[in-house]
Structure 1
Amino acid sequence: MALSFENRIKYIVRYMYDIDNNGVLDQNDFDCLAVKNTIIECKGDFPKAAFENNQLIMRNLWNEIAELADFDKNGEVDVDEFKNAVITHCVGKPFADFPNAFKAFIENQFKSVDVDGDGLVGLNEYRQDVITRAAFSDIAVIDNAWNKLLSDTDRAAGGITLPRYQELFSNFIANKDESHPSCYLFGPLMKL
């Protein structure tokens, strides 16, 4: 059940977008994401230009997501609306055919995980990302998820490149197959 399509969509809404934890997506979440992304990208520093750039990106992202998913036009996107938008605009499609809002979020997420900025998400960065969303009493659980996620090409490269991350993330939200390696992109999932 933890790897089901429904649970993965709930996971994205709860842990990736709903920054203020109020159960729905709204403008405030994306304002908070601009602050968060600036701090992460700038390793604790907060340059005004970087923040303004992230703020613009996140406001545009919210506007696009609201256009795609706020079906009742109440200024909020709940889990069901988000799921319906994913089904309509993403399921069965490759990353290149996703709406710009989804592509922008995926690329920004990669930048926040690739802490050292080398263009590759390695095991240590994966571990750091995974523990921000759940508690684990044994690192082996995280490392097992990493090993299920990686392909032979990923192993040879020493981690996950941006194009591979885009592929994995798009499969995480758009592929209903519960056995796909992309199900482990964010670590071992719990049922929500």
Structure 2
Amino acid sequence: MAYSWDNRVDFVVRYMYDIDNNGFLDQNDFLCMAVRACVVEGKGDCSTARLDDYKKLMTNLWEEISAIADDDKDGKISNQEFKDAVKKTCVGKKYEEFPQDEDRKRGGLSLDRYKELYGQFLGNTADNHPAVNLFGPL
């Protein structure tokens, strides 16, 4: 089904993290996300200081995700490795119970509803709850 848990996790990997679209996650994807975030936040302008901040943030995120998901320690996270990690750390839990990344430790996102929905998007295997539409039609 279009809104199955597998499809939702595939969506996160494919459209949010696998920036170079090579079918797996690696540190390069997270450095690309740093550049993208810097350009978007700066509305086309990406200062060196802001880029360095984003690189640090995304490097930390990569290290946290790879510690949880890169089972074979090859520096690449396959879609299946990511799914297995999400099942292990997120399924059946609320957002507050997800692994604590550096952004969240600093106060992170303040949009409680978004967090709740994102938690359900990844943590609820049903395909008929409101969070399945969090990113629009898949």
- Provide the TM-score with structure 1 as the length reference: 0.67
Structure 1 runs not aligned, ≥5 long: 111-160
In 2, the alpha carbon distance for the partners of 1:72 and 1:184 equals: 33
Q: Deviations over 1:134-187 (max 9, x none)?
A: xxxxxxxxxxxxxxxxxxxxxxxxxxx711111111110111111111100110
Q: Distance in 1 between matches of 2:83 and 2:67?
A: 14
TM-score by length of 2: 0.92
Quote the residue 1:129 is aligned against. Answer: none
Which letter does structure 2 place at the counterpart of 1:61?
A: L
The answer for the alignment partner of 2:48 in structure 1 is: 48
2:18 partner amino acid = D
What does 1:71-90 correspond to in 2, within 5 Å?
A: 71-90=71-90
Task: Please name the residue that 2:129 is paired with.
Answer: 180
Q: How many residue pairs end up in the alignment? A: 136
- Tell me the residue number matched to 2:36: 36
User: Higher Cα Rg: structure 1 or 2?
Assistant: 1
User: In structure 2, how many angstroms separate the alpha carbons of the residues matched to 1:15 and 1:63?
Assistant: 20
Q: Deviations over 1:87-130 (max 9, x none)?
A: 000111111111124975xx98x7xxxxxxxxxxxxxxxxxxxx
Give 1:84 shift.
0.5
Kept in 1: contact 2:57–2:102 (CA 8 A):
no
- The equivalent residue for 2:11 is 11
Q: Gapped runs of 5+ residues in structure 2?
A: none
In the superposition, relative to structure 1, how do residues 17 and 102 fare at CA in structure 2: closer, same or farther (>3 Å)? farther
Cα 1:76/1:171, change in 2 over 3 Å: same
Pick the aligned partner of 2:112 from 157, 163, 168. Answer: 163
* Equivalent AA in structure 2 for residue 78 of structure 1: S
How far apart are 1:9 and its partner, in Å? 0.8
